[in-house]
Amino acid sequence: MVAERAKLHIALTFLQFCHAGNHIFLRIALNTGVSKLVFPVYRNITAFILLAPLAYFTEKKDRPPITNYCLLQFFLLGLVGITMKEGFYLLGLDNTSPTFASAMQNSVPALTFLMAVIIRYESLHLNKIDGMAKVLGVLASVGGASVITLYKGPIIYAPQLALHEGQFLSLFGDENGKNWNLGGIFLFGHCLCWSGWIVMQAFVLKKYSAPLTVSAFTCFFGVLQFVAIAVFLEKDPKAWQLNSSEEAYSVLYSGLVTSGLAAAIQIWTISKGGPVLASIYLPLQTLLVALMASIAFGEEFFLGGIIGAVLIISGLYLVVWGRSREIKSGEEFIVSIEPENQWEEKSDSSSLIQPLIPLHNS
């Protein structure tokens, strides 16, 4: 049991490294002028090429039957978790910067926690110490990432490199021509979709115990949706060409690592720890982006980074500690997801619509 929990937390930490790198690679791709409609198509085709054979061979014996209910559920996951989430992110990142986008994603744990509590997927006892610990943990993690973004303070670490402005890729990007207000709106939509996607995955996994198959079909439908949008809206045939190695590397990283490997890890962590625990590690991205900026790009590291790191780590500990107490007391609604594998076409509680109703009501 201890080893299983350790694997879960290691996987969640590694997941944030994957996403932190994605901010950089996507900014590189956007700086080269890549089409925001074509890029997600190539990205998710690459991910599907990775996930499809992996899901087929590893879950071949244990995969439940795929019915029309399954396909509709997977289609909705693709719509919310890929088409809308990635579309909003690219539009938001194009008008802001990787650091700002990473900071905005810190709202995902709070939004996920709120959704999970409203639909009674996550327990919350404000009159008990474990419930208060979870709330304080979420607030501390979000607050810590906000401190890294909004407060610098004295310089703690200054790399001994002869850096010149413009020599390395700036994490903040070029502010000329950017609409930061519109970008912020797009990024909030991205965070809202990400939170809803995490919670929806938890419900799907409760009925369908093949996480890699779920990820592969989600990616497949995301590709179909993005292709339809790109063919309809992208009028320039040259937009479908990859014109530089930077674009190719960005597609490979985003496809193989972020949409492929990270998506598989995320759905596994949701199946083991639930949606809130899977999202609470997201503020760690902001810390990792700040560290990457300092080490890889020679940027200075400020006191705000230290304070934010302490808050983020403290918040993670509080949430994990609060959930551990709930598990011991037996008061948590769902600790990990026990799959039922019931996708029969019938009108009772095992139908497709039933798991999605709480999401619409929230």
Give tens-digit pLDDT for 67-125. Answer: 999 999 999 999 999 999 999 988 888 887 766 777 777 778 778 888 888 887 777 77
Read off the pLDDT of residues 305-360 as tens digits, 9 standing for 90 and up.
678 777 877 877 787 777 777 766 665 444 344 444 444 443 343 333 333 333 33
pLDDT of residue 55: 93
**Identity at 272, one-letter amino acid code:** K
Task: Report the C-alpha gap between 63 and 210 in whole angstroms.
Answer: 6
Average pLDDT over every residue of 40-63: 92
> How many other C-beta atoms are found inside a 10 Å radius of the C-beta of residue 296?
13
Structural domain for 319, as ranges: 2-361
Per-residue model confidence (pLDDT) at position 337: 43
Q: What number is the average pLDDT over the span 173-192?
A: 75
What residue has token string 């501390």?
140
205-249 pLDDT tens trace: 888 889 999 999 999 999 999 999 999 988 888 888 888 888 888
pLDDT value for 80? 95
Q: How many domains does the chain have?
A: 1
Q: pTM for the complete prediction?
A: 0.73
Structure confidence at residue 118 (pLDDT): 82
The rounded distance, in Å, linking the Cα atoms of 15 and 345 is 35
Q: What is the pLDDT of residues 247-286, one digit of tens each?
A: 888 899 999 998 899 889 988 888 888 887 777 787 777 7
CA distance 326 to 128: 10
- Per-residue pLDDT of 14-38, as tens digits, reads 998 888 888 778 777 877 888 888 9
pLDDT tens digits for range 109-144: 778 888 888 887 777 777 788 788 878 887 887 787
Q: What is the mean pLDDT of the chain?
A: 77
Give yes or no for a contact between 350 and 343, defined as CB atoms under 8 angstroms apart.
Answer: yes
Identify any residues that bridge with 155 across adjacent strands, giving them in sequence order.
302
Q: In this predicted structure, what is the pLDDT of residue 181?
A: 77
Q: Is 14 or 287 the better-scoring residue by pLDDT? A: 14
Three-state SS annotation for the chain = CHHHHHHHHHHHHHHHHHHHHHHHHHHHHHHCCCCCCHHHHHHHHHHHHHHHHHHHHHCCCCCCCCCHHHHHHHHHHHHHHHHHHHHHHHHHHHHCCHHHHHHHCCHHHHHHHHHHHHCCCCCCCCCCHHHHHHHHHHHHHHHHHHHHHHCCCCEEECCCCCCCCCCCCCCCCCCCCCCHHHHHHHHHHHHHHHHHHHHHHHHHHHHCCCHHHHHHHHHHHHHHHHHHHHHHHCCCHHHHCCCCHHHHHHHHHHHHHHHHHHHHHHHHHHHHHHHHHHHHCCCHHHHHHHHHHHHCCCCCEEHHHHHHHHHHHHHHHHHHHHHHHHHHHCCCCCCCCCCCCCCCCCCCCCCCHHHHHHHHHC
Phi–psi pair at 242, nearest 5 degrees: -90, 115
pLDDT for res 342: 43
Asked whether the predicted pLDDT for residue 290 surpasses 60, the reply is: yes
Distance CA 157, CA 318 (A): 28
Structure confidence at residue 236 (pLDDT): 85
Confidence of residue 172 (pLDDT cuts 50, 70, 90): very low
Do residues 59 and 212 lie in contact, with contact meaning Cβ atoms separated by under 8 Å? yes
Is residue 12 within 8 A of residue 267, CB to CB? The reply is no
Find the mean pLDDT for residues 293-309. Answer: 66
Taking alpha carbons only, the member of 335, 291, 86 closest to residue 190 is 86
Q: What is the pLDDT of residue 75?
A: 97
